Amino acid sequence: MNIYIFSDTVCPWCFIGKRRLERALAQRPDLTPTVRWRTFQLNPQMPEDGMDRQRYLALKFGGAARAQELYETIRQVGESEGIAFQFDAITRTPNTVLSHRLLRLAESEGRDTAVAEALFRAYFLDGKDIGDPQALTVIAEEAGLDAGAVQDFLGSEDLADEILAEDRFARRLGIAGVPCFIIDGKYALSGAQEPEAFMPIFEMASQDQSLASPTAG
């Protein structure tokens, strides 16, 4: 089973969605999925060096007060999933292209889910600027990647075009919000749904695999 997760590294619902997917898979230990992270930018017009957090909140939500209302709901949902969001610790909203490139580099080493977790934790729990190459290098090293290789990679333009093309592809697919889970290229689940929402899709995908397997005899 292949699970592609279209997400953004600054999307709190994507962090919650990751936890809920993990809980869903824990209920189906018979499944051995390959999970891959795919690009979606919530803020595709974000300047390359990011933006002051308060300015971003004013532009997107009309000010910190309205944003606080919305984030309080997310904070409460996060608590139920064991995530202690620290939104007040975030001082800068980054451009996420570099972090998506890092995820793709990590995929080549089978470490993309570990790096996704590290990115979410760094941004939402520690308030790190995950648009900063130095911060990303530290995050990647802690997640098991070679710091020198990451630093060289982020200093290049490797995979930049691929990441931007993938973001455009997601929008052509009709994805307008994340997380969006695509399972075996056939089934889609949009949003940070409860684990129970995955079960019918897991069952259909399992049946598809059974039908596709050669029978003995």
Instruction: Indicate the domain borders of the chain.
Output: 2-212
Supply the mean pLDDT for the chain: 95
Sorted by sequence, the CB contacts under 8 Å of residue 86 that are 6+ apart come out as 124, 125, 126, 127
Residues 191-214 have a mean pLDDT of 90
Output the pLDDT for position 78: 98
Structure-token pair, residue 99: 């972090």
Question: How far is the C-alpha of 92 from the C-alpha of 150, rounded, in Å?
Answer: 22
Model confidence pLDDT, tens digit, residues 5-44: 999 999 999 999 999 999 999 999 999 999 999 999 999 9
Model confidence pLDDT, tens digit, residues 126-136: 999 999 999 99
CATH architecture of 2-212: 3-Layer(aba) Sandwich (3.40)
Contact at 8 Å (CB) between 150 and 102? yes
Question: Among 32, 34, 41, which residue's Cα sits nearest to residue 6?
Answer: 41
Output the pLDDT for position 213: 62
Output the pLDDT for position 3: 98
Please check the confidence at residue 217 and state whether its pLDDT lies above 50. Answer: no
Output the pLDDT for position 56: 95
For residue 181, what are the β-bridge partners?
5, 189
Structure-token pair, residue 142: 């802690």
Q: Helix or strand or coil: residue 182? A: strand
Residues 164-191 have a mean pLDDT of 97
Output the pLDDT for position 151: 98
Output the pLDDT for position 65: 85
Continuous H helices in the chain: 12-26, 53-61, 64-80, 97-107, 112-124, 133-142, 147-154, 160-172, 199-212
For residue 35, give the DSSP letter. Answer: E
Q: Helix or strand or coil: residue 3? A: strand
Please check the confidence at residue 212 and state whether its pLDDT lies above 90. Answer: no
Question: How far is the C-alpha of 150 from the C-alpha of 136, rounded, in Å?
Answer: 8
Question: How far is the C-alpha of 171 from the C-alpha of 80, rounded, in Å?
Answer: 30
Confidence label for 216 from pLDDT (cuts 50, 70 and 90): very low
Please check the confidence at residue 214 and state whether its pLDDT lies above 70. Answer: no
Output the pLDDT for position 210: 79
Q: Helix or strand or coil: residue 181? A: strand
Percent of the chain predicted with pLDDT > 90: 92
Residues 178-185 have a mean pLDDT of 98
